[in-house]
Amino acid sequence: MNISGWIQLVLFVAVLLAITKPLGLYLCRVLDVNGKTFLDPVLKPLEKLTYKLIGVDPEKEHDWKQYAVAMLSFSLVTMLFTYGILRLQDEAAS
């Protein structure tokens, strides 16, 4: 590895260490139902509208069966989306 690669590695690690604590605190506030962040004035109304539209109670936790159904549903949608992308790609591009 040349000097440019080492500088890039050191800068990457330094930036990673610098953002770890603030990002961790922010995520802790975001994942708390009653947590407050600087983006709340913009995003809270959208979040509440989304919850109302899909019928989610943000105070209620999932049991293992609800979590399993949610994970399997998400995996199915992601798989179908990925399959659609791969299927609809132009074959001449490869």
Q: pLDDT averaged over the chain?
A: 91
CB atoms near residue 15 (< 10 Å): 10
- Over 70: is that where the pLDDT of 92 sits? no
- Over 80: is that where the pLDDT of 62 sits? yes
Residues in Cβ contact with 46 at an 8 Å cutoff, skipping those fewer than 6 apart: none
Q: Helices in the chain by DSSP H: which ranges? A: 3-31, 40-54, 64-88
Does this model's pTM top 0.85? My answer is: no
| pLDDT greater at residue 79 or residue 44 | 79
